A and B are shown apart, each in its own frame.
Chain A
Amino acid sequence: MNDTKSPPTPKEKVGVYICHCGTNIAKVVDVVEVAKWAEKNPHVEISRENKFMCSSLGQELIEQDIKEKGLTRIVVASCSPHMHERTFRTATENGGLNPFLFEMANIREHDSWTTDDEEAATQKAKALVNGAIERVVHHQPLEHIPVEINPNTLIVGGGIAGITAALELADGGNQVYLVEKQPSIGGHMAQLDKTFPTLDCSACILTPKMSDVGNHPNIELMTYSEVESVDGFIGNFDVTVRKKTSSVNEKCTACSDCEEICPVIVSSEFDVGMGTRTAIYRPFPQAIPNTYTLSRTTDDSQCVAGCPIHQNAHGYISLIAEGKYEEAVKLIVEDNPLPGICGRACAHPCEDVCDRGKVDEPISIAFLKRFAMDKVGDYELLRPEKERKERVGIVGSGPSGLACAYDLRKNGYQVKIFEALPAAGGMLAVGIPEYRLQSAQLKKEIGKIKDIGVDIQLNTKVGEDITLEELEKQYDAVYIATGAHEERKIGIPGEDLAGVLSGIKFLRDVRLGNKVKLGDNVIVVGGGDSAIDTARTAKRLGVKNVTMVYRRSRKEMPADFDEIEEALQEGINIEFLTNPVEVKGKKTVEEVTLQRMELGTPDESGRRRPIPIEGSEFDVPCDNIIITIGQRPDIGSLKLKTKDWGGVEVDEVTLQTSKKKVFAGGDCVVGPDTIVGAMALGKTAAESIHRMFEKLDMYAGREKEGAYLSNIEVDISGREKAPRARIPTIPAKERSSFKEVNLGFTEEAAQQEANRCLHCSICCDCHLCTTVCEPDAIDYSMEDEIVDIDVGNIIIATGYELFDTRQIPQYGYGRLDNVFTSLEFERMVNASGPTEGKIVLRDFESAPESVAIVHCVGSRDENYHKYCSQVCCMYSLKFAHLVHERLPDAQVYNCYIDMRTPGKGYEEFYDRLLKEGTHFIRGKVAEVTDSARTQEEEGKLIVQVEDTLIGRQRRVPVDMVILSPAMEAQPDSKETSQLFKMGCDFDGFFIEKHPKLDPIATMTEGVFLAGACQGPKDVPDSVAQGAAAASRVASLISRGTVMMEPIRASIDAEACSGCKICNTMCPYNAIEFIEEDGVSHVITALCQGCGTCVAACPSGVITGAHFTNDQLISQIEGLLWDMRELEAVPAGKEEKR
């Protein structure tokens, strides 16, 4: 225990004052008794009770006693120190004592108000007073720490409260930083049409203030920005603000040319989904700052990220939706030299990750590309801007080689491709059947690649016709992309019999026009795309019975779903869960023994493992067996280092092989892969080769090459389902030829399909806007800016959010078309809104004949928010008035719980509405439904409500329902409160210092509140609080310095053992270790006085001023005066005190 405690010397003279607080304390606590009892304490010189200690009489009593009776310590037992500690410290100081020689006992909030038990309350009061007396004798005189106030102020939130505060301060000559999350200031008020009860046009009264802010020399406006961190304390806050990039610089003249050309149409936040906006936008015409913002996200769209070559699918989909096909094609060929081929035969991994799939089905991304390419017909690949001298040799003209060649050629390098086969295109030419990819198409696209200067030499096998070494000598770099053209074997008896064919060779022979003879019964082994291709090709060659044998079930089958379907339509039989075990025959195949399988546990591919069923073998007669179970590379002649299974060994990032100048990619490195996968590696190799030539870092910043999952998330709530367009095909009976099966979208179908895009990353990176911007203001390379600002005070005015009415499903919002929210209606009645002020139903045409307005949606409701949102009654009345004004014949019903109109002119407005003929129904609405019970209700929305004034249930049929949702705290208010070290209540509203006397300040000195972030408020209240916060700050600024509590830690260097435990305890890094002395030291300027280090010090040598061990231990002893067991302990055994 603390045995260093020194007895207080010389004897202190304590004055004790017990407050009655009128009857607040005296009614429960016997204050006279407590005062009398306290006098018995040996430290106490005088003990008094008084009706109101906080009154000037009470304070004078203290001052007088100090002077006359020579008191050295003061204890006041009254209310919470948060209420009057300052008052009594001042009185103590006025009496001539150091203000810290005072202690307060809280016998009101912590005692008399919490119990009716008078005896217990009095006993507790004695304990609290005694604790204070025992504590105060150990108090030390302390001096306040003066802190200078930086005259700059940060205001967070540019709604009406923040705007008001900013103008008040700036007009007074102070520098203000106004930070707003949105691209424009104005907040919710900018969205409103009229303001109650005066019916002022909201924009008319707000926009002049907004432009004042925009033009004010003392206001630095930081829109589209968020506060990232706050350090420091009153007078000296160090704030970091992230200015999100708008990708538009100060040259913007707000001419709107960019907006007109932008192909991305998303729902407008400002119009709460009632209208739309483009990706580059201005929230509303009067926006301040009056400039455009390009909505870009931190990552790519899912389809772009998920595409191994990052084809800008989002871009071309948006352009197709707008009918800009030429532009779409231009965008497509920027990344992809095989556009029409990919539009037909790509495995489209983009569609697997498409966010639209979360709503219904993914967008048909690949076929849209085909549509654009077919529609436009001709195109030009990009040509180099300047020629370079470096030469690159590419081995293999498949998709990987071609993609590599295109990227290198774009950069100006001299490229030559060597192809072993008599046709260019690799697997495209010899692996994919004609009915999926027409030779003419392939020829055309390879022709385009040749057009930009890529040379292709056919019939030249590297390793045989020319050696790799020779290539290395002739070229500055070599890319090997020879593919995987050798079929793997199953490894069963009889596999070498005549009539057993390799699938890949079969497809190659058919494509090259070599003669292939098949019998009437053909069995195809395998379940991948090649197996399907093989089976369908065999069928087209006239084979009567084609049977596919696959060892797993349909669910695990790797082939494309649609193609399996098409194969079945064409009469191909598929035997699932079946595997060949032996091929029988003399010289040629006669029959095959098959075995049935069942599925066991999943293997490393995640698919369930097939397990043979013993004794299930059966023989099937057949003429040919075609094996298509996978291919492997054949690169023995190249003499490169390979992996066990035969693939070339390369550096995973750069694709460099064991030879420095030689790179490899595609199927010869990774095994059989998709077209786009092979192309991606070609592009990676092109990048590596470019970096090698340019002598750049081969590894830096390459994390996002190849497919990855984007981190953006799109809100899919309330999206209507619209099925994916199906690609039309030629009828199954016409599929005996090698005609292309898929026909391609019609223009109408393509546009409709493209319009399903959710624009998950908003801006689609098509860069069309840059082509029309005359002042050259759009800059895609702009990045977020981090700005550090120093301020003395902070005003938080972050406002509110509206309650999501979907949470109350019985009110039908989102389900019943003509149920609107208040904000939707505000936008609707606004002359500059989406309907130009016309009140119409969701069809944007018909006017309602009757309207019901539902109050208290989510407010005053145990299930949602218990509080009253204060403004809904008034704006609901305003809505009723606006409906009367615009649709004089319409009936308006206001369903309310209580009508709350407590403001200047508010009740009068209510009275006016009563006279205007609004029907008022007092009762909480139970339900809004479209299920009619009578003829009259047919086609209407029926509002079911109990009219509590007539005591009857009513069903009110109306055309339109407006919900008046609760005002809620911002969804991120908790994080905001932590950022600024304020408190926030259960509902998320920020806590003021005192609900009655200080609704402006927070617990943190120098941080103030304004507007609805503190609780629901209307415009005049927000303005008042904004101005009040500004005046509080102005007062601090003019004071120049404030006095801080001297509660700080200090270390007795003499006694410090140098264990450093405290160093890590301090959250402010205020404790440093002084190496030469071997002791720790508190940096007073950084210390905030929490005392955590004091509690942690094993030597007990850290002193927390005003909360010392002596003081707290004595307070504990004092508090427990009536519990002391130790007095009965024999002398000598007593616990050290």
Chain B
Amino acid sequence: MSEQFEPVIVGFLCNWCSYRAADLAGTARIKYAPSLRPIRVMCSGRVDPQFVLKAFINGADGVLIAGCHPGECHYLNGNIKTLRRFLLLKNTLSQWGIEDERVQLQWASASEGIILAERVNKMTEEIRALGPLRWYDKVLGGNGAVPIPVKEK
């Protein structure tokens, strides 16, 4: 098999909807790309933009933020704040040349395992098409940093 680029996506999943959606996808044995590495947060509103940057700096090729549908937030409206931060963050990232596909937002209720799984598959394919992020190259390129990725698999 030829060496295919396998993206790594960090997922921030809210405890009440999307984390359970991912649980349900597993329980229902829905197969999807093994690219997602989930982190549980109580609410998508807890996702500090610096977490997203941190994930990119540490080598993630994409970040998926998932929360309850608008109007269904366990904490009334945390997801609305997520949405606002997400839009602002995406704007900022695109000015650094980071493609929109690399940071995505998905609403998934606890019963929507299939929706979450499909989103991970789609996002994986989109990022696979873009190739690795190479943060140091892209963001700090020409700034003294010499990026030589070492993958110790």
Interface residues in chain A, defined as those with a beta carbon under 8 Å from any beta carbon in chain B: 1-2, 80-82, 106, 108-111, 113-117, 120-121, 123-124, 127-128, 131, 977-978, 981, 983, 985-986, 991, 1003-1004, 1047, 1065, 1067-1068, 1088-1092, 1094-1096, 1104, 1107, 1109, 1112-1113, 1115-1117, 1119-1120, 1122-1130, 1133, 1135
Contact in complex: A80, B23 (CB < 8 Å): yes
**Is there a chain A Cβ closer than 8 Å to B129's Cβ?**
no
- Most chain A CB within a 10 A radius of its CB, from B26, B50, B144: B26
Contact in complex: A110, B151 (CB < 8 Å): no
Contact in complex: A1091, B149 (CB < 8 Å): no
**Is there a chain A Cβ closer than 8 Å to B122's Cβ?**
no
**Is there a chain A Cβ closer than 8 Å to B98's Cβ?**
no
CB distance from B142 to the nearest CB of A (A): 13
Contact in complex: B37, A1120 (CB < 8 Å): yes
Contact in complex: A1123, B51 (CB < 8 Å): no
Cα-based distance from A1136 to B137 in the complex (angstroms): 18
Contact in complex: A981, B74 (CB < 8 Å): yes
Sorted nearest first, the 8 A-B pairs with minimum C-beta distance are A1123-B59, A109-B26, A1091-B46, A1092-B45, A1090-B75, A1090-B43, A113-B26, A120-B34
Q: How many residues of B contact A (CB 8 A)?
A: 68
Cα-based distance from A805 to B74 in the complex (angstroms): 35
From B137, which residue of chain A is reached at the shortest CB distance? A1125
* Given A991-B111, A1067-B75, A1090-B59 contact (CB < 8 Å): no
- A/B pair count, beta carbons within 8 Å: 187
Cα-based distance from A81 to B25 in the complex (angstroms): 15
Contact in complex: B23, A1090 (CB < 8 Å): no
* Given A106-B38, A1090-B75, A1120-B22 contact (CB < 8 Å): no
* Given A110-B38, A1003-B74, A1123-B60 contact (CB < 8 Å): yes
CB distance from A62 to the nearest CB of B (A): 21
Contact in complex: B26, A108 (CB < 8 Å): yes
B144 contacts which chain A residues (CB < 8 A)?
1130, 1133
A110 contacts which chain B residues (CB < 8 A)?
22-23, 26, 36, 38
CB distance from A2 to the nearest CB of B (A): 7
Cα-based distance from A124 to B110 in the complex (angstroms): 23
Contact in complex: B43, A131 (CB < 8 Å): no
23 A-B contacts, Cβ less than 8 Å apart?
A: A1-B50, A1-B54, A106-B23, A114-B29, A114-B32, A114-B34, A114-B117, A121-B34, A123-B34, A123-B153, A978-B72, A1003-B74, A1092-B78, A1094-B46, A1109-B48, A1116-B58, A1123-B8, A1123-B59, A1124-B58, A1125-B147, A1128-B149, A1129-B147, A1133-B144
From A1047, which residue of chain B is reached at the shortest CB distance? B42
Contact in complex: B39, A1092 (CB < 8 Å): no
From B81, which residue of chain A is reached at the shortest CB distance? A1092
Contact in complex: A1095, B45 (CB < 8 Å): yes
Contact in complex: B58, A1095 (CB < 8 Å): no
Contact in complex: A1120, B46 (CB < 8 Å): no
**Is there a chain A Cβ closer than 8 Å to B55's Cβ?**
yes
Contact in complex: A81, B111 (CB < 8 Å): no
**Is there a chain A Cβ closer than 8 Å to B107's Cβ?**
no
B152 contacts which chain A residues (CB < 8 A)?
1122
* Given A114-B31, A983-B109, A1112-B41 contact (CB < 8 Å): yes
B17 contacts which chain A residues (CB < 8 A)?
983
**Is there a chain A Cβ closer than 8 Å to B10's Cβ?**
yes
CB distance from B1 to the nearest CB of A (A): 11
- Most chain B CB within a 10 A radius of its CB, from A1004, A1068, A1117: A1117
A109 contacts which chain B residues (CB < 8 A)?
22-27
A113 contacts which chain B residues (CB < 8 A)?
26-27, 29
- Indicate which residue in B45, B75, B135 contacts A1125 across the interface (CB closer than 8 Å): B135
Near A by CB (< 8 A), chain B positions 11-31 give 16-17, 19-20, 22-27, 29-31
B77 contacts which chain A residues (CB < 8 A)?
1067
* Given A978-B72, A1092-B75, A1115-B39, A115-B147 contact (CB < 8 Å): no
CB distance from B38 to the nearest CB of A (A): 5
B149 contacts which chain A residues (CB < 8 A)?
1125, 1128
B131 contacts which chain A residues (CB < 8 A)?
none
**Is there a chain A Cβ closer than 8 Å to B47's Cβ?**
yes
Contact in complex: A81, B40 (CB < 8 Å): yes
CB distance from A447 to the nearest CB of B (A): 64
From A1003, which residue of chain B is reached at the shortest CB distance? B16
B59 contacts which chain A residues (CB < 8 A)?
1120, 1122-1125
Contact in complex: B151, A1122 (CB < 8 Å): yes
**Is there a chain A Cβ closer than 8 Å to B57's Cβ?**
yes
B10 contacts which chain A residues (CB < 8 A)?
1116, 1119-1120
B81 contacts which chain A residues (CB < 8 A)?
1065, 1092, 1096
Contact in complex: B42, A1116 (CB < 8 Å): no
From B8, which residue of chain A is reached at the shortest CB distance? A1123
- Indicate which residue in B8, B22, B58, B78 contacts A1117 across the interface (CB closer than 8 Å): B58
Contact flags B139-152 to A (C-beta < 8 A → 1, else 0) = 00000111111111
Cα-based distance from A108 to B27 in the complex (angstroms): 9
Contact in complex: B78, A1090 (CB < 8 Å): yes
* Given A124-B34, A983-B111, A1091-B41 contact (CB < 8 Å): yes
B146 contacts which chain A residues (CB < 8 A)?
1128-1130
- Most chain B CB within a 10 A radius of its CB, from A82, A114, A116, A1113: A114
From B6, which residue of chain A is reached at the shortest CB distance? A120
From A1120, which residue of chain B is reached at the shortest CB distance? B58
**Is there a chain A Cβ closer than 8 Å to B97's Cβ?**
no
B58 contacts which chain A residues (CB < 8 A)?
1116-1117, 1120, 1123-1126
CB distance from B11 to the nearest CB of A (A): 9
**Is there a chain A Cβ closer than 8 Å to B85's Cβ?**
yes
A1091 contacts which chain B residues (CB < 8 A)?
41-43, 45-46
Cα-based distance from A1113 to B47 in the complex (angstroms): 11
* Given A108-B26, A991-B110, A1090-B43, A115-B75 contact (CB < 8 Å): no
From A1097, which residue of chain B is reached at the shortest CB distance? B48
Cα-based distance from A778 to B47 in the complex (angstroms): 58
Cα-based distance from A123 to B152 in the complex (angstroms): 11
Cα-based distance from A978 to B54 in the complex (angstroms): 34
From B74, which residue of chain A is reached at the shortest CB distance? A981
CB distance from B136 to the nearest CB of A (A): 6
From B152, which residue of chain A is reached at the shortest CB distance? A1122
- Indicate which residue in A121, A1104, A1116, A1122 contacts B54 across the interface (CB closer than 8 Å): A1116
B47 contacts which chain A residues (CB < 8 A)?
1095
Contact in complex: B26, A1128 (CB < 8 Å): no
Cα-based distance from A935 to B19 in the complex (angstroms): 63
* Given A131-B39, A1123-B58, A1128-B148 contact (CB < 8 Å): yes
* Given A1120-B58, A1129-B136, A1133-B145, A1113-B34 contact (CB < 8 Å): no
Contact in complex: B75, A1120 (CB < 8 Å): no
Cα-based distance from A1128 to B137 in the complex (angstroms): 12
From B55, which residue of chain A is reached at the shortest CB distance? A1116
B54 contacts which chain A residues (CB < 8 A)?
1, 1113, 1116-1117
B148 contacts which chain A residues (CB < 8 A)?
1128
Cα-based distance from A14 to B72 in the complex (angstroms): 38
* Given A1112-B51, A1125-B59, A1128-B150, A1095-B85 contact (CB < 8 Å): yes
Contact in complex: A1116, B51 (CB < 8 Å): yes
Cα-based distance from A538 to B2 in the complex (angstroms): 100
B76 contacts which chain A residues (CB < 8 A)?
1067-1068
A1112 contacts which chain B residues (CB < 8 A)?
39, 41, 48, 51
B37 contacts which chain A residues (CB < 8 A)?
124, 127-128, 131, 1119-1120
Contact in complex: A1120, B74 (CB < 8 Å): no
B33 contacts which chain A residues (CB < 8 A)?
115
From B45, which residue of chain A is reached at the shortest CB distance? A1092
B57 contacts which chain A residues (CB < 8 A)?
1126, 1135
Contacts A109-B23, A114-B30 known; list 4 others, CB within 8 Å. Answer: A983-B110, A1003-B110, A1092-B78, A1094-B48
Cα-based distance from A623 to B6 in the complex (angstroms): 98
Cα-based distance from A1067 to B24 in the complex (angstroms): 28
CB distance from A712 to the nearest CB of B (A): 27
B151 contacts which chain A residues (CB < 8 A)?
1122-1123
